[in-house]
């Protein structure tokens, strides 16, 4: 059995180390403090008996659990990231452990009246009677993705301690800067040497994902002309009005707050403006590649139409692709999803196979030649003060890793 106490101790040890990444930095890792946990993970991997433990100049960690069977088995990998999002502070995390959750409100911070309530977060009720780890209401928790790291290392330790469980070569990888979209950028797929891998970076128990959004970013710049308002007639051009025209011309109901499932969207997430210049920042998302390309064309055509209306270029738009739907790369090797699904079923977990309404390192890695579906790590409400993780979900995720390793060896005997 996976030790509940060991899982808690390991996880709490990780989340109390500040590893917040920084999108404004051009180094890798983007913050020096990520090295604190990275170096500690290297020593821990060595201590539990992993082989070929390495960390490169960019803090990418790799290690091997050698095969314990005498027949050829594909090399599989498990990957997580150790940075936390810059969207909410991850400094001075003070985890709170709630044993035998009673299904009622959890007071995170009485002084600040911060309450984690099942009336608002009804997923909590799934975990009545379980042990839940929360924040103290002033920071995020860091289950994204320190729960994944906890599960991978705990699974490797369990397999080392239980050689009767047969498996092939297993590679593990831990990365910096996933939260700022760079986690896979310097990942050496060839050196990793796995035939396929799984990111342990999903949310609730049972999640198994091999589809994600196609994604792009759009930067819209609107140029105006400023003159003294008292003498502005037929001279001033207010860029903010033109920007408003652009915003209102996009489909209003195709935004995050009006979409779900496979529905794509345009998301205006930042804007700054003065009379002579306004900047809009969008993300474009769609699971369907054709619809994704059409969304980009809509944004460009709208800019062209407004420029024609004004008889000159008042709007420029720069659209850059960010990542693509990994379904295209995983479907030809669907047996890797089937193995994960079977592992969950054998462990009494109901697989929740669904598309990710976001991105994952698994997407970039899949397009780099490493097919990489995503498996639950157990956390909820990522990137904020209401983040929590049930310990039992982390235990189950750890068991899934072990079972995938065992099934892969069995099926290739």
Which helix (H) or strand (E) segment holds residue 298: the answer is helix 289-310
Average pLDDT over residues 12-20: 98
Residue 345 token pair? 């079923």
Query: Is 335:76 a contact under the CB 8 Å cutoff?
Result: no
Measured CA to CA, the distance from residue 321 to residue 302 in angstroms comes to: 19
Q: Tokens 């003159």 map to which residue?
A: 227
Measured CA to CA, the distance from residue 369 to residue 194 in angstroms comes to: 10
Measured CA to CA, the distance from residue 89 to residue 142 in angstroms comes to: 10
* Domain limits, CATH 3.40.630.10, in the chain: 4-211+325-411
- Asked if pLDDT for residue 361 goes beyond 90, the answer is no
Catalytic residue among 20, 145, 177, 178: 178
Average pLDDT over residues 65-79: 97
Residue 257 bears catalytic tag: no
Which pLDDT band holds residue 205 (cuts at 50, 70, 90)? very high
- In order of 174, 318, 342, 356, 373, the CA distances from 327 in angstroms are 23, 27, 19, 11, 9
Query: Is 247:412 a contact under the CB 8 Å cutoff?
Result: no
CATH number of 214-322: 3.30.70.360
- In order of 85, 167, 168, 369, 408, the CA distances from 195 in angstroms are 29, 14, 12, 9, 11
Query: Is 229:148 a contact under the CB 8 Å cutoff?
Result: no
Longest dimension (CA), the chain: 86
Residue 310 token pair? 């004004």
Residue 338 bears catalytic tag: no
- Asked if pLDDT for residue 413 goes beyond 80, the answer is no
Which pLDDT does position 340 carry in this prediction?
Answer: 98
Q: What is the pLDDT of residues 296-314, one digit of tens each?
A: 999 999 999 999 999 999 9
4-211+325-411, CATH topology level: Aminopeptidase (3.40.630)
Measured CA to CA, the distance from residue 7 to residue 178 in angstroms comes to: 23
Average pLDDT of the chain to the nearest whole number: 96
Query: Nearest 10 degrees: CA dihedral of 14, 16, 18, 20?
Result: 70
Query: Is 33:177 a contact under the CB 8 Å cutoff?
Result: no
Which pLDDT does position 339 carry in this prediction?
Answer: 97
Which pLDDT band holds residue 1 (cuts at 50, 70, 90)? confident
Query: Is 207:380 a contact under the CB 8 Å cutoff?
Result: no
Burial of 187 (0-12, 13-18, 19+ CB in 10 A): buried
Sheet holding 374-376, edge to edge: 51-55, 61-65, 170-175, 76-81, 196-202, 374-376, 207-209, 352-353
Three-state DSSP at 104 gives coil
| Sequence-distant (≥ 6) Cβ neighbours of residue 116 within 8 angstroms | 105, 106, 108, 124, 134, 386, 388
Q: What is the pLDDT of residues 365-393, one digit of tens each?
A: 999 999 999 999 999 999 999 999 999 99
Catalytic residue among 22, 44, 83, 406: 83
Measured CA to CA, the distance from residue 224 to residue 314 in angstroms comes to: 7
Residue 248 token pair? 């209102």
Listing DSSP states for 97-121 in one string gives EESS--SS-EEEETTTTEEE-TTT-
Q: What is the pLDDT of residues 82-123, one digit of tens each?
A: 999 999 999 999 999 999 999 999 999 999 999 999 999 999
- Asked if pLDDT for residue 73 goes beyond 80, the answer is yes
Describe the crossing of helices 289-310 and 239-249 by its angle, rounded to 10 degrees.
140
Q: How far apart are the first and last CA of the chain?
A: 26
* Domain limits, CATH 3.30.70.360, in the chain: 214-322
Average pLDDT over residues 323-351: 96
Which pLDDT does position 359 carry in this prediction?
Answer: 78
Q: What is the pLDDT of residues 143-189, one digit of tens each?
A: 999 999 999 999 999 999 999 999 999 999 999 999 998 999 999 99
**Short-list 155, 189, 195, 162, CA closest to 173:** 189
């Amino acid at each position: 059995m996976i030790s509940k106490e060991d899982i808690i101790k390991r996880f709490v040890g990780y989340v109390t180390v500040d590893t917040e990444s920084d999108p404004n930095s051009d180094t890798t890792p983007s913050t020096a403090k990520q090295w604190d946990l990275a170096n500690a993970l290297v020593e821990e991997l060595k201590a539990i008996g992993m082989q070929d433990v390495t960390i490169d100049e960019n803090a990418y960690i790799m290690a091997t659990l050698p095969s314990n069977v005498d027949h050829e088995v594909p090399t599989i990998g498990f990957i997580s990231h150790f940075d936390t999002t810059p969207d909410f502070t991850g400094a001075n995390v003070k985890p709170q452990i709630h044993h035998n959750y009673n299904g009622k409100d959890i007071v995170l911070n009485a002084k600040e009246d911060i309450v984690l309530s099942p009336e608002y977060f009804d997923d909590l009720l799934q975990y009545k009677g379980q042990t839940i780890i929360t924040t103290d209401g002033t920071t995020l928790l860091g289950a994204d993705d320190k729960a994944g790291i906890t599960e991978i290392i705990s699974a490797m330790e369990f397999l080392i301690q239980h050689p009767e469980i047969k498996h092939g070569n297993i590679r593990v990888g831990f990365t910096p800067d996933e939260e700022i979209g760079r986690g896979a950028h310097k990942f050496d797929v060839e050196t990793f040497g796995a035939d396929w891998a799984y990111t342990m970076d999903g949310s609730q128990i049972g999640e198994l994902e091999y589809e994600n959004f196609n994604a792009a970013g759009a930067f819209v710049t609107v140029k105006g002309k400023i003159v003294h308002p008292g003498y502005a007639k037929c001279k001033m051009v207010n860029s903010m009005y033109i920007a408003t025209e652009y915003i209102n011309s996009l489909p209003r109901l195709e935004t995050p707050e009006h979409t779900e499932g496979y529905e794509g969207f345009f998301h205006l997430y930042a804007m700054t403006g003065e009379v002579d210049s306004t900047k809009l920042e969008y993300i474009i998302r769609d699971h369907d590649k054709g619809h994704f390309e059409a969304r980009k064309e809509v944004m460009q055509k709208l800019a062209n139409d407004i420029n024609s209306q004004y008889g000159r270029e008042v709007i420029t738009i720069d659209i850059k692709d960010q990542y693509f739907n990994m379904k295209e790369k995983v479907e030809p090797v669907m047996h890797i999803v089937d193995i994960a699904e079977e592992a969950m079923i054998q462990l009494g977990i109901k697989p929740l196979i669904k598309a990710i309404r976001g991105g994952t390192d698994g997407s970039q890695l899949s397009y780099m030649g490493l097919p990489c579906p995503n498996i639950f790590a157990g956390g909820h409400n990522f990137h904020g003060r209401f983040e929590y993780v049930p310990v039992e979900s982390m235990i189950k995720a750890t068991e899934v890793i072990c079972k995938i390793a065992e099934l892969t060896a069995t099926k290739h005997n």
